Amino acid sequence: MMHSKLVLASLLLALVGCSPSEQASSQTEQAGSSPFKLSGDVKHIMQWVLDPAVDGVWDSAGSIITAAGTRELAPTTDEGWLAVEHSAAVVAASGNLLLMPGRAVDDEGWRNISQGLVEAGLLAQAAAKNQDSDALFDAGGQIYRVCKACHSVYVQDDESLD
């Protein structure tokens, strides 16, 4: 639960900005061409919002197989599933954060990948809501495919993902 609170707090920080002065500045900017005030660059979104959230999804699906048997990683309580649902929601929201003006590197390619992240996050969110461990595992794989596709195009000399 603490994990999901941290993730959501990070997201809110990223979305809102914090201080009244920043909010005033943001309102000023709204009078301009964009209603958005960026609260971090793409790297920040990755490190502070997406990475912790996607770990919450990946760590909650799959199997550990030993001679003693198989341990499934899926949550076993409603509270656990809700925490995963929260993480998945942040993953989906991260895709939209990447689409904000000032973050997109180009138009179509960036948009498609960002929207793919939203879709994959929503799949994971639905799987968690339905407490469907197989669907959650598959959604986790789809999230990774989106990550890899993005890094293969936009990250040069990438050492953050394979």
For residues 43 to 62, the per-residue mask of contacts with another protein, x marking binding by CB under 8 A and - elsewhere, is ------------x-xxx-xx
On whether the CB atoms of residues 87 and 110 are closer than 8 A, the answer is: no
Of the pair 30, 63, the CB lying nearest another protein is at: 63
Of the pair 8, 149, the CB lying nearest another protein is at: 149
Q: How many residues bind another protein (CB under 8 A)?
A: 27
Please name the helix (run of DSSP H) or strand (run of DSSP E) that holds residue 70, with its range, or none. strand 69-72
Q: Measured between alpha carbons, how far is residue 146 from residues 89, 116, 121 in Å? A: 16, 6, 10
* Smallest gap from residue 58 Cβ to another protein (A): 4
On whether the CB atoms of residues 121 and 65 are closer than 8 A, the answer is: no
Residue 63 touching another protein (CB under 8 A):
yes
128, two tokens: 């968690």
Binding site for another protein (CB under 8 A): 55, 57-59, 61-68, 71, 73, 137, 140-141, 143-145, 147, 152, 158-162
